[in-house]
Structure 1
Amino acid sequence: MNLKKAVILLNLLLLITPVQASYAGDKPLQTVIYDKHRGGLDFSLGDSRYSGELEYNESYRVNFSVEPPAGSSIKVAKAYVYWVWSKKGLEGIYPEFNVSLVNSGTVVPLQEEKMYTDTKGFVSRYDFFSGAHAYDLSGEISGPGNYAISLVNTAEDGSTFCVQGIGLLLIYEGSELPVIEYWVNEGCDMLYAEYGIDPEMATTTAYFEGVIDPENVADAYLITVSPSGGYSSGAEARNRLFFNEKTSRIPVIGDLIQILFGGGKSWKNIYQTNETVQVALDERPVGAYLESAGNFASVQDNGDYLLVTNAILLIELKESENSEKGAN
C-alpha cells in the first residue's frame, strides 16, 4: 500500500472510530462536591420552559420558590443553565450571555464557575454546541423567598442559542435534620445511538467514590438531570437508567440473578420531555441497591438523543452513635 492510500485509510478510520464521536459516552460527569453532615438537599427546575432561539439582547428567566426546612440554613446553592443550538450561521460556537440573580428587586450579577460542553464531534452541517454553565450562589441565596435567575444574550456578532431550562441545587444544614452523605456530579455528555454508535457506546457513567455501610442507611436517592431526554417517541426503550448494574447482561438470566441474589437495578424510558419542558429531572429511591463501595449510575441512549448533566447520590443515615460521630 502506497503512502497516499495509507493516509486516506487512516482518515477514514478516524472518522468512524467511536472515541472520535461525541455521541458516545466520552465525557463522564465528575464529582464536584462530597460531604456528610446534618441537613437536606433539594434540586428544582422552577418554572423552566424552552426559550426558542435567543438573539442579541433577548432575555430568559426562571422563577424559584425557596423554602428551607425549619431551623436550617443554606450551606450550598448552585445554578445550572442548560443551553443548546449555540451557533453563528451554520458554525457551532460557544454562547455569550450574562446571568443574574433577582430577589426582592435586587439584581446580583453572577460569575460563571464552570462551563461544560459537547458536540456530535464529526464534520457535518448543524454541528452546533450544547452545554451547561454552573454558577456558585452560596451566600447569594441565604434564606426563604422568591428568587429568579435571568440571562441575556450579549453576543453582538449575531450568534444565537436556545435555553432548555435552569436548575437550582440547594443543600441545607441544621441540627434537627438527619445525617446525610452526598455526592454531587456534574458535566455535559451528549448521547445518541446513531451514526455507528450503538447503545453500549452511547452510555455515560457517574461514579460515587467512597465506602459506606448499607446497614446504616435509612434512605438513599439518585437524582439525575437530562436535557432533551425523552423528547423522541417510540415503542422501544429510548433511554435507560442503571444503578450499580452493568449495561450489558444476558436477558432473563440477568433478571433471575438480580431476583435471587440482589444487586443493581435499571429503568426504561424514565426521562420524558416535550416541546415546552425540555429538561427531564428524575429522582428515585435506590437504598435497596446500594453497595458498600464503588456505587455508580449509568445513563444510556437508544435513539432518543439526550444530554446528561447532573447525577447526585443522597444518603440519609440512621440515627446511631456512628452516624453522630461521622456528622461531627
Structure 2
Amino acid sequence: MICAILLIMPVMATYAGDKPLATVYSAQENGGYVFSVGNSTYSGTLHPGDRYPVSFTIDIPEDATVRYQRYYLYWAWGRKDQQAVYPAINATQCSGEKTLTGPAVRYVDNKGFSSASDFYSGMDAFSCRNLTPGKNTVTFEVANTGEGNSTFVVQGAGVLAVYESPASPPGQIEVREGCDMLYSSYGITPEMATSRMDFSQDIDMARLSKATLELVAPSGGYTRSDIIRKNAVGINHEQSGKLPPFITSVLSLVFPETRGKEWVDVFDSDQQQQIGIETRDVTPYLAARSNFATVQDRGDYLLLTNAILKVDYT
C-alpha cells in the first residue's frame, strides 16, 4: 500500500536561510546514534520505472532499543520536461523488506525566482521496520513512479538510527530534519544565506563530558570554482560584519567560551559522493542554555537537511 506523503510546503522559497530545520526527536537517555550514507552515489537522471538501490551496514549495540529511525533520500531537479514538478518516489525495499511505500515526510525548497532551471530539490524521510541489535546489512531501494517524462536525480541516501542503551553513557540528543537551500548569489548575501538552529535542551555543564554536532548538506563542499571560505559552520557564534575576519578569528581563540566558534570551508563532497557531512566536537563552546548553530553559504551552494547534537555526561 502506498502511504500518503506529508509534504512540508515552503512558506518562502529562496536561496536565503528561510526554511529552518525542525526538531523531530529530542530525549535525555543513555544511548547514541548511527548515521550512514552506505554506498550511495549520484544517480544521474531517473526516468519513470528506474530504480535506485543503496546498501547499508549498521552496527547497533546488543543491549540497544531503537527509538527513532529514518531512511533519507536526497533528490534534486524534480521536473517534467521543463516544468517544475514534485517527483513521485516510492520505496520498493526498506530495511531489507520488499514494499511499496511513500515517504513519511517530504521537505522541499527551490531558489524561488523565475528562471529556466527553478526546479525542486528536497529530502524524503521514510519510516521502515527498525534495525535490530547487532550487525545489520540492509538494502534501501526507491523507484521513480511518476508518469510521462517526470524525472529527478538522486544525490545520495542515508539512514539514521537513534537508540537507547543501558551500557552507553548518559546524555541527551536532539535530531533535526528539513531542507534549506542556501546560496550566496543572485542578490542573496552570506548573512541572508544563513540557516540557524536553536537547541531547546539545557546542558548540565558540571557533568558535560563531550558534545558532538553532525551536519548533513547535499552539495556542501562541492563547487567547480575555487572559492576561499566558501561556507562556514558556527556554534554559539554571532556573525559580525563590522570586524575583519582575521580579528574575529583572534577574538574567537582568545575568548572561545563567550564568542563560540566558527569553522570555514567545511563539508566534503564531490561529483559522485554528493552528500556533504561535517562532524565537529563542540564541547568547549557550549553554554548551559540557549545554544545555537549556524550554517552559512558564501558561494558554495548547498542544501542543509540534517543536524544532530549529541551530548555525553560523566
Q: Same fold (TM over 0.5)?
A: yes
More divergent stretch after superposition (68-77 vs 39-48): 68-77
Q: Give runs of aligned pairs for residues 197-276 of structure 1, distance below 5 A.
A: 197-232=188-223, 233-249=225-241, 250-251=243-244, 252-263=246-257, 264-276=260-272
1:286 equivalent in alignment to 2:278: no
Counterparts of 1:247 and 1:62, CA distance in 2? 39
Q: What secondary structure is seen at the aligned counterpart in 2 of 1:215?
A: coil
Gaps of 5+ in 2: 1-10
Q: Identity percentage over the alignment?
A: 39
Q: What secondary structure is seen at the aligned counterpart in 1 of 2:252?
A: helix
Check 1:141–1:69 CA distance in 2 against 1; reply closer, same or farther (3 A cut): closer
Counterparts of 1:20 and 1:49, CA distance in 2? 30
Q: CA deviation at 1:212?
A: 1.4
**Deviations 1:176-201, CA, capped at 9 Å, x for gaps:** 11112011011000011111111111
Task: Tell me the TM-score normalised to structure 1 length.
Answer: 0.86
Counterparts of 1:248 and 1:310, CA distance in 2? 25
Counterparts of 1:262 and 1:24, CA distance in 2? 28
2:127 to 118, 130, 136: 136
Check 1:171–1:236 CA distance in 2 against 1; reply closer, same or farther (3 A cut): same
Counterparts of 1:41 and 1:75, CA distance in 2? 10
Name 2:79's counterpart in structure 1.
Answer: 87
Q: CA deviation at 1:110?
A: 3.5
Q: CA deviation at 1:107?
A: 1.4
Counterparts of 2:130 and 2:207, CA distance in 1? 34
Q: CA deviation at 1:21?
A: 5.9
More divergent stretch after superposition (211-220 vs 51-60): 211-220
Q: What secondary structure is seen at the aligned counterpart in 2 of 1:199?
A: coil
2:35 to 30, 43, 57: 43
TM superposition outliers: structure 1 runs of 4+ over 6 Å = none
What amino acid is the match of 2:295?
V
Q: CA deviation at 1:20?
A: 6.4
Counterparts of 1:50 and 1:131, CA distance in 2? 14
Gaps of 5+ in 1: 1-18, 319-328
Bigger proportion of residues as helix: 1
Task: Tell me the TM-score normalised to structure 2 length.
Answer: 0.90
* 8 A Cα contact 1:84 1:164, kept in partner: yes
Check 1:129–1:47 CA distance in 2 against 1; reply closer, same or farther (3 A cut): same
What amino acid is the match of 1:141?
L
Q: What secondary structure is seen at the aligned counterpart in 2 of 1:125?
A: coil
Q: CA deviation at 1:257?
A: 3.2
Alpha-carbon RMSD across the aligned residues, in angstroms, is 1.7
Counterparts of 1:127 and 1:111, CA distance in 2? 24
